[in-house]
Amino acid sequence: VLLAASRFQSCTPRWQTCIGNTDDTLGFALGSLFVKETFDKHSKDIAEEMINEIRSAFKGALDRLGWMDPHTKRAAKDKADAIYDMIGFPEFILDPKELDDVYDGYEVSYDSFFMNMLNFYNFSSRVMADQLRKTPNKDQWSMTPPTVNAYYMPTKNGIVFPAGILQAPFYAHDHPKALNFGGIGVVMGHELTHAFDDQGREYDKEGNLRPWWQNSSVEAFRERTECMTDQYSRYTVNGEHVNGKQTLGENIADNGGLKAAYNAYRSWVQKNGEEKRLPAVNLTNDQLFFVGFAQVWCSVRTPESAHEGLVTDPHSPPRYRVIGTLANSPDFSRHFNCPVGTPMNTGGRCEVW
């Protein structure tokens, strides 16, 4: 998953609480309205193309890995090829009858929020009970279309990008490719890399939990992940250290995602030629890629919220999702001319994928 689950606090405006609860209970009906109103029909095809470019870049990086044995490398490529994607929204939300069938049995009251919630909990319990002992549906969505997030499913070896994240600042059809690859491209690379993080790597290409690595590659993988655990454990927020073990999977995904997306962008440039530079910003397009990645994580948190994140969140704090990942990128150091020995080019990079 790209982001931590959001929580609605007491200071949240009422309209936002209402939207949040509507999404929790009637998310696919809300998603139907959202998609019809806002979703660019070309986004799905463009996203599909980008995912394939990033998959190719990831496999190209696998070829250059010195620490992985040939047998495991072939199996890793097979797993990358087998990852299937779901983009935007499930098709049933555009069919009124199918949408009605999904919510059949859920009684909605026009004047009682309490009854609506009670009815929904009863309804969802019945739906879950009905799925017992049935073959799992590979195409079932765990996030609603308006959600600004994305996720990887290890037991299905699939990645999902709801319509909500296929918009600025992650993606816009009129943005330079550098910005789109730095935004949604890194998200795609992040979710793809989850298939090979400390937990995802335990599942094979069919989503079965079984060993498929040679022992020598397992040991080499652990050595590289220890480097990353130690790196992120040195970062602090308000004097409190990041938990490098708790955040390892997401940090692996951030680093692998950035590298795959950057390599995919460079491949795009080789095929299509350099883009024109944006006027007035005084950045090369390669620099713009990294700025696009960094601005996605701009955020403000109270000290209490920051502490809660350090204790409970499997993601590093946003500041270090940027700094930690870029400090491991030789491409970033090259394009921003960071001398060896400076904070963003320490001379001791960690790299897994």
Cα angle value 26/31/37 (rounded, 5°) = 140
Give the number of other Cβ atoms within 10 Å of residue 181's Cβ: 32
CA distances from 353 to 47, 58, 85, 189, 255 (A): 22, 8, 21, 11, 8
Q: Residue 299: is it exposed, middle or buried by C-beta count within 10 angstroms (0-12/13-18/19+)?
A: exposed
| Identified catalytic residue from 197, 254, 286, 313 | 254
Q: How far apart are CA 285 and CA 296, in angstroms?
A: 17
| Identified catalytic residue from 23, 191, 204, 313 | 191
Token digits of residue 277? 């530079």
Residue pair 161/48 in contact by the 8 Å Cβ criterion: no
Active site residue 191: yes
Residue pair 347/253 in contact by the 8 Å Cβ criterion: no
| Segments of 147-228 assigned E as strands | 151-153, 158-162
Helices and strands: H and E segment counts in the chain: 13, 5
Q: How far apart are CA 93 and CA 98, in angstroms?
A: 7
Active site residue 254: yes
Q: Which residue has the tokens 């980008």?
A: 50
Encode 291-308 in three state secondary structure: HHHHHCCCCCCCHHHHHH
The catalytic residue positions are: 191, 254
